[in-house]
Amino acid sequence: MASPGTPRYVAIIADGNGRWAQKRGLCVGEGHRAGAENVRARLRDAVEFGIRELTIFAFSTENWARPADEVSGLMELLAEYIDFVTPELNDEGVRLRFVGDRSPPVPSSLVKRMSWAERLTAHNELLTFFVPINYGGRAEILQAARRFRGSSEEEFTALLYAPDMHDPELLIRAGSEQRLSNFLLWQSVDAWIVFSKEMWPEFSRQSFEAAVEEQRRAETRRTRQRSKAQAPYAAQLRA
């Protein structure tokens, strides 16, 4: 059950897997694997917090520039993750949605797994878990702009990768960097942003809960400020 004011729509940039591994003398692949395990844990937290949509950045368009062995390892890990986690999430009532460009160089075997996971979980309603793969905010906007013939934001939003995705109320970035990294540029215009110094594999339930509470307090302040600003006009109307 969500506490009053808990953000319903949350997005996370899960950064720092490689640096976490390097500090421990591990290979980068082990860092990504630890990060994948943390996704499962924080997803369960999101359900308990009452969050309705959780988006966690998995692989960006810029990630193709990483070393070839790291990229191939990430593709294999994503495929393994989908195979292993999808039945579990389906049993728990979580809906899976993948966001991004599914054309090459994304492996066709991975695209098939993504489609399978979406079909299997399509009717679940407890929480929608969006996973951006081969995703870039600028590319998303450009692709929509090429097809846009309307005149409203709503019509433009309908052309994005996931028109059903709500704008995140809270955006968290792990890994100590303070930038958006081409993530949900259209959708995050009004999101409260929390930058965490923790690397993603060590981003804990307590850190997640603290970020949720920070956004809740910020939204409460904004609501009060709006009420105060509107009070004089309301008084004039009653006069």
Identity of the amino acid at 165: M
Beta strands in the chain (DSSP E): 9-13, 53-56, 59-60, 94-99, 127-135, 170-173, 192-195
Residue 90 a catalytic site member? no
| Catalytic status, residue 63 | yes
Contact 202, 175 (CB under 8 A): no
Instruction: Give the integer Cα–Cα distance in Å for 197 and 178.
Output: 9
Q: Which of 45, 63, 101, 124 is catalytic?
A: 63
- Residue partners of 159: CB distance under 8 A and separation at least 6: 143, 144, 147, 148
Enzyme catalytic residues: 15, 63
